[in-house]
């Protein structure tokens, strides 16, 4: 089942630190804490990539194996999960996690984009695919890009449409694409 972490839990490989009880407790030492945040960021990105999740609900995630190691009887509470995602949302220049998360619901901080690939990275991948398939100056619908037969083997197939639009807007800003049409029926021409 698409985007159902429980359906393929057995196939996800947790890192060794996931079985280490202190991993689930905020570390007081700044160096250790930074390492802990980096490992949580890598785990969250890997989890989301494996399950093809772009939009992570913390309310659901804190009850999932991502933040709850049942055999250890350890879990990350919601307040700590928010701190981890806050760190992931900060730029590296501010000592953060390289903008690998972005809050969708503002101050509520319950739903976030998880950027296992940032829109800029997706934009580059899309541009390369357009180039390699000879589709410059061809009009494609956003639906074709996300759900089309030609993209079934591509990593972005089934992507959240909002993420696709963010990625296409990067290409628009770079002068490599034009998006037109009504919401839900957008077309894209690549240059």
Look up residue 186 and give its DSSP letter: -
Please report how the helices 119-132 and 161-173 are oriented relative to each other, as an axis angle in degrees rounded to 10.
Answer: 80
Where are any strands of DSSP class E within the chain?
55-57, 68-69, 74-75, 101-103, 111-114, 139-141, 177-180, 187-190
Overall pTM surpassing 0.85 (yes/no): yes
Q: Return the domain boundaries, the chain.
A: 9-114, 119-190
**In a structure prediction context, what are the per-residue pLDDT tens digits for the chain, which is 191 residues long?**
344 544 445 689 999 999 999 999 999 999 999 999 999 999 999 999 999 999 999 999 999 999 999 999 999 999 999 999 999 999 988 888 999 999 999 899 999 999 999 999 999 999 999 999 999 999 999 999 999 999 999 999 999 999 999 999 999 999 999 999 988 889 999 99
CATH number of 119-190: 1.10.10.10
Q: Which CATH superfamily is domain 9-114 in?
A: "Winged helix" DNA-binding domain. Chain C. Domain 1 (1.10.10.570)
Tell me whether domains 9-114 and 119-190 share a fold: yes
Q: Report how far residue 51's alpha carbon sits from residue 118's, in angstroms, rounded to the nearest whole number.
A: 16
């Amino acid at each position: 089942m698409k985007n159902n972490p429980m359906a393929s839990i057995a196939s996800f490989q947790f890192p060794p630190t996931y079985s280490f009880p202190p991993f689930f407790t905020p570390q007081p030492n700044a160096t250790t804490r930074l390492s802990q945040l980096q490992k949580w960021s890598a785990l969250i990105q890997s989890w989301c990539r494996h399950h093809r999740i772009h939009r992570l609900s913390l309310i659901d995630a804190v009850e999932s194996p991502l933040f709850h190691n049942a055999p250890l009887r350890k879990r990350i509470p919601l307040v700590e999960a928010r701190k981890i995602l806050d760190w992931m949302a900060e730029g590296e220049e501010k000592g953060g996690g390289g903008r690998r998360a972005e809050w969708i619901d503002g101050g509520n901080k319950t739903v976030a984009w998880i950027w296992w690939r940032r829109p800029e990275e997706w934009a580059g991948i899309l541009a390369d695919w357009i180039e390699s398939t000879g589709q410059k100056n061809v009009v494609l619908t956003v639906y074709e890009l996300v759900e089309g037969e030609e993209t079934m083997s591509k990593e972005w197939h089934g992507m959240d449409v909002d993420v696709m639009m963010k990625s296409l807007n990067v290409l628009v800003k770079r002068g490599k694409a034009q998006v037109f049409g009504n919401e839900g029926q957008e077309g894209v021409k690549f240059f």
